[in-house]
């Protein structure tokens, strides 16, 4: 399984929980994924964004992807 799919699965679990420190866990998971992507951070963020959109399209109940999406947008904004 590739690193992107592993990350999406981890984010999927977090999207279903009401963990009090979910924001920090989502950001940490994304940052760890990006650490392996030096030099291609923008492309990696865009791939992750597309993967999340595909997951969201499945519209599974009780999944909230807003934290991950907001964090990715903020990272992309900082790269601009």
The predicted-structure confidence for 10-46, as pLDDT tens digits, reads as follows 999 999 999 899 999 999 999 999 887 667 888 999 9
In the chain, which ranges are E strands?
A: none
Sketch the domain layout of the chain as residue ranges: 3-79
Mean pLDDT of the chain, nearest integer: 90
Residue-level pLDDT at 21: 95
Element (H, E) at 36: none
Tokens of 74: 């903020």
CA distance 38 to 70: 21
Stated length of the chain: 80
Residue-level pLDDT at 79: 85
Residue-level pLDDT at 38: 65
- Is the pLDDT assigned to residue 80 strictly greater than 80? no
Provide mean pLDDT across the span 63-70.
93
Handedness of CA 38, 10, 26, 79 (dihedral sign): positive
């Amino acid at each position: 399984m590739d690193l992107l799919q592993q990350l999406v699965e981890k984010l999927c679990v977090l999207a279903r929980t009401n963990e009090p420190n979910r924001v920090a866990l989502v950001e940490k998971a994304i940052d760890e994924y990006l650490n392996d992507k030096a030099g291609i951070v923008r492309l990696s963020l865009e791939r992750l964004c597309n993967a999340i959109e595909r997951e969201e399209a499945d519209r599974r109940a009780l999944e909230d992807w807003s934290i991950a999406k907001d964090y990715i947008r903020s990272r992309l904004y900082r790269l601009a």
